[in-house]
A and B are shown apart, each in its own frame.
Chain A
Amino acid sequence: MGGNSSAPDRTGTSRRGFLSAGLAAGTTLAAGALAARGAAASDTAITELPDWTRYLGEGVATRPYGHPSEFESGVVRRDVPWLTASPESSVSFTPLHDLDGIITPNGLCFERHHAGIAEIDPSKHRLMVNGLVEKPLVFTMDDLKRFPRENRVYFLECAANSGMEWRGAQLNGCQYTHGMVHCVMYTGVPLKHILNEAGLRTNAAWVMPEGADAAAMTRSVPLQKAMDDCLVAFKMNGEALRPEQGYPLRLVVPGWEGNMWVKWLRRIEVGDEPWHTREETSKYTDLLENGKARRFTWVMDAKSVITSPSPQAPLNHRSGATVVSGLAWSGNGRIARVDVSLDGGRNWRPARLDGPVLPRAVSRFYCEFDWDGSDLLLQSRATDETGYVQPSKEELRAVRGVNSIYHNNGIQTWHVRSNGEVENVEVS
């Protein structure tokens, strides 16, 4: 693409409807065009007095619960209707391309329900602990708030995140390819306190959380994990859980696949064997090429994605100082480093981690470079504190084939064109 010096149409009219919609919603092209150095016509954004500089704005009580600016109305969860048979057992995606830092706003956290959003009156919600315990117990929400609390930042990633990409590049945007992940601060009670309150019998080895929704979600969790770092959470980012995130109570299973983070948590049974529920037999098992399937693939391995530039966040300049922004996370601990490639994985440069780098939370990375305006094949590669290096998609497929559905943590490639457009591609 080098040598094409004519300025492309920057109005976006030549782009696909998808890109145009995203640009119209949030990004101003005019500012980019006016940013060029040198003599330019005076900017009416400066020379003309806007209404907001002249007239009074709304008073303090007009927005008792604030919302984002109307100019951010394009920053929303989106779904892919053809992925599932019904919107009640389906998924919506976090708009990663529009976000920064490591904390996902509550209203933008991706959703995955199996029977829609249960709307629960917290005064009628109960948590039961039964099974291999000395004394089966029932707790109200008020009861649970009398236990000592912990605050922890964790990522929650659906096991199927990037699952549609096993066979190749399919969806054009990191919201769709990687948006089944969010990261918030949870406030809750360590599960071990609740289990100890009931008293574990000596043959206790597994626990099974169960949801109060119409799917009555159940998963088998080994007792060791339950007693290690699981939380029974009632707050996210400081406020009550959102209904779509399990209000009033959900399980937090740090580093492990999102399906196990049972929402609308109503019961925890203690047993001596796993239950082999539908969600750990029919689903959340990973089919291999030889016809065997892995079960109990709990941990989400180290992964990363460049969120900008990306197909929904094209570059609005044609050369010069450029910021690559992205996310990295690992269910096995802290992110140790992230490398970025501009040439499809042939050469790499270390990225810069910025902000808190917490175990089993997303970490933000940046890589600043001077873009010469030529085509780029952008990739990011995460390494976690265990020494695990995020694999290529080819490496994963060589071991697992293409029918695993779950646990695709392969390296993502974005093709950046000289006109700033970005596409999801695979490279040799």
Chain B
Amino acid sequence: MSRFRKPLLAAGLAALVVAGPALAGPLGIGREATPEEIAAWDIDVRPDGQGLPEGHGTVAEGQTIFEEKCAACHGVFGEGEGRWPELAGGQGTLQDERPVKTIGSFWPYLSTVYDYVHRAMPFGDAESLTPDEVYALVAYLLYLNDIVTDEDFELSKDNFGTIRLPNEANFIDDPRPDTEVLKAGAEPCMKDCKAEPPRITMRARILDVTPDAGNDEENAGGSVD
């Protein structure tokens, strides 16, 4: 089924009730953005390298910056202090009971590492890193994840596209609905839907991790990130 079929159908129904305003053409609102303005805000980088700035940095340079600006939260080896995110390790754990999802074990594209570090890190001091510093940090993160092994490795705009992350092939597009869906007009089961009376198999109170319930610290079940 097309992903867009249902939303479009529903949008058509809504239009019967309240039609949105139709515009014949542009209204002449706003003004043209200058190249300087676009350069200031358009810092995103795509997997094909679109958006990468000029620059370069080595693993060793990255280690120095990482230990100064990143390790307090992410750990000296990217292992994550406390609950802060792990950046390295976890390869081969995605089918484990508790997967460790890091750049090396889970992320599909190196461009995302550059883009995200540049736009949003360090946490609390975003957009403070120069392009060379970001290249160096990304090189060091590759090293921490054993994706490059040479301490003298230098990452640059030119060789960026040669690096592939291990988990790139393991992402699939949304296949939902993936549970049983009623055929048109069919009624869901209303009576005697289970052979036996249900019994309780799990209680939240046993875990006792709800705030104000006396034990806020323990994360005994799943969590969000």
- Residues of A at the B interface (CB closer than 8 Å) are 16-18, 21, 78-86, 88-89, 91, 114-115, 128-131, 135-139, 143-144, 146-150, 160, 163-173, 176, 190, 193, 196-197, 199, 208, 210, 214-216, 218, 224-225, 228-229, 255, 266-267, 269, 271, 273, 275-278, 281-283, 285, 287, 289-299, 301, 311, 332-334, 339, 343-349, 359-360, 377, 381, 383, 385-389, 391, 395-396, 399-400, 402-403, 405, 415, 423-428
- With A16-B213, A197-B29 as given contacts, are A86 and B175 in contact (CB-CB < 8 Å)? no
Give the CA-CA distance A4 to B66 in the complex, in Å. Answer: 64
Q: List 14 A-B contacts (CB under 8 A).
A: A17-B212, A82-B223, A89-B123, A135-B32, A137-B32, A287-B101, A293-B172, A294-B175, A347-B191, A383-B188, A386-B6, A387-B181, A387-B182, A424-B205
A171→B210 contact, CB < 8 A: yes
Query: Residue A346 contacts which of B95, B106, B193, B209 (CB distance < 8 angstroms)?
Result: B193
B190 touches A381 (CB 8 A): no
Known: A143-B30, A173-B210, A294-B175. A83 touches B44 (CB 8 A): no
**Chain A CB within 8 A of B107 CB:** yes
Known interface pairs A301-B177, A385-B10; A291-B193 also in contact (CB < 8 Å): no
Query: With A and B bound together, what is the CA distance between A199 and B18 in angstroms?
Result: 26
Tell me, rounded to whole Å, the shortest Cβ–Cβ distance linking A414 to chain B: 10
Taking a contact as CB atoms closer than 8 A, the residue among B46, B182, B205 that contacts A172 in the complex is B205
| Given A214-B124, A311-B204, CB of A292 within 8 Å of CB of B218 | no
In angstroms, how far is the closest chain A Cβ from the Cβ of B194? 5
- With A and B bound together, what is the CA distance between A160 and B191 in angstroms? 32
Inter-chain contact A426/B219, CB cutoff 8 Å: no
Which residues of A are found within 8 Å of B14, using beta-carbon distances? 229, 359
B224 adjacent to A389 (CB under 8 Å): no
Decide if the interface of chain B is mainly helix, strand, loop or mixed. loop
Decide: A81 near B216, CB < 8 A? Known: A128-B37, A293-B172.
yes
Complex: how many Å from CA A377 to CA B176? 29
B197 near A343 with CB under 8 A, answer yes
Instruction: Judge whether A293 and B106 touch: CB under 8 Å.
Output: yes
| Residues A426 and B200 in contact in the complex (CB < 8 Å), given A294-B173, A299-B176 | yes
Q: Could you list which residues of chain B lie within 8 angstroms of chain A, going by C-beta atoms?
A: 3-4, 6-11, 13-14, 18, 20-21, 23, 25-27, 29-33, 37-38, 41-42, 44-48, 73, 82-85, 94-95, 99, 101, 103, 106-109, 111-112, 115-116, 119-120, 123-124, 126-127, 170-186, 188-194, 196-205, 207, 209-214, 216-225
A residues less than 8 Å from B108 (CB atoms): 276, 281
A172 touches B210 (CB 8 A): yes
When distances are taken between beta carbons in the complex, the residues of chain B under 8 Å from A131 are 42
Given the known inter-chain contacts A170-B221, A273-B46, A299-B176, please indicate yes or no for A148 contacting B21, CB distance below 8 A: yes
- Kindly list chain A residues whose C-beta atoms are within 8 Å of the C-beta of B84: 85
Q: Report, nearest first, the 9 A-B pairs whose CB atoms are least far apart.
A: A344-B198, A148-B21, A424-B204, A170-B221, A333-B10, A291-B94, A85-B83, A427-B198, A136-B33
Residue of B nearest to A301 (CB): B176
Residue among A143, A292, A297 making CB contact with B170, cutoff 8 Å: A292
A360 and B103 CA atoms in complex are apart in Å by 35
A84 touches B83 (CB 8 A): yes
Min CB gap A251→B, angstroms: 16
When the two chains form their complex, are residues A147 and B27 in contact, meaning their CB atoms are under 8 A apart?
Answer: yes
Q: Assuming A17-B212, A150-B20, A278-B115, is B178 touching A400 (CB within 8 A)? A: yes
- Inter-chain contact B120/A267, CB cutoff 8 Å: no
Q: A164 to B210: give the CA distance in the assembly, Å.
A: 11
Which B residues are CB-close (under 8 A) to A423? 203-205
- Beyond A80-B210, A128-B41, A385-B10, 14 extra complex contacts between A and B, CB < 8 Å: A21-B212, A139-B29, A165-B222, A169-B204, A172-B205, A218-B119, A228-B4, A278-B116, A291-B95, A294-B174, A346-B192, A348-B190, A388-B177, A427-B200
**Cβ-defined partner of B198 (8 Å) among A85, A130, A139, A377:** A377
Which residues of chain B are within 8 angstroms of A79 by Cβ–Cβ distance?
211
Report how far A159 CA is from B212 CA in the complex, Å: 25
Q: What's the least CB distance linking B202 to chain A, in Å? A: 4
Q: A84-B83, A423-B203 are in contact. Are A18 and B210 (CB under 8 A)?
A: yes
Give, as a whole number of angstroms, the nearest-CB distance from A110 to chain B. 12
Minimum CB–CB distance for B216 against chain A, Å: 6
Distance (Å) between the CB of B132 and the closest chain A CB? 20
Report whether B193 and A345 are in contact in the complex, using a CB–CB cutoff of 8 Å: yes
Please tell me if the beta carbons of B33 and A130 are within 8 angstroms of each other in the complex.
Answer: yes
Q: Which residues of chain B have C-beta atoms less than 8 A from A298's C-beta? A: 174
8 Å CB contact of A216 from B25, B119, B179: B119
B202 touches A426 (CB 8 A): yes
| Known interface pairs A228-B7, A294-B175, A345-B198; A137-B30 also in contact (CB < 8 Å) | yes
A291-B170, A383-B188, A399-B179 as given contacts; A214 in contact with B106, CB under 8 Å: no
- Whether the pair B222, A167 counts as a contact (CB closer than 8 A) is yes
Query: Which of the residues B38, B46, B200 comes within 8 Å of A275, measured between beta carbons?
Result: B46
The residue of chain B having its C-beta at the shortest distance from the C-beta of A80 within the complex is: B211
CB < 8 Å neighbour of B200 from A146, A282, A425: A425
Chain A residues whose C-beta falls within 8 Å of the C-beta of B73 in the assembled complex: 85
**A137 to B37 Cα, complex, angstroms:** 10
Chain A residues in 8 Å Cβ range of B218: 82
Chain A: CB-nearest residue to B117? A278
Residues of A within 8 A of B183 (CB): 387
Q: Within 8 Å CB of B192, what residues of A? A: 346-347
B109–A218 CB distance below 8 A = no
Task: Report the Cα distance A91→B211, complex, angstroms.
Answer: 14
Q: What is the CA–CA distance of A267 and B38 in the complex, to the nearest angstrom?
A: 10
CA distance A231 to B180 in the complex (A): 32
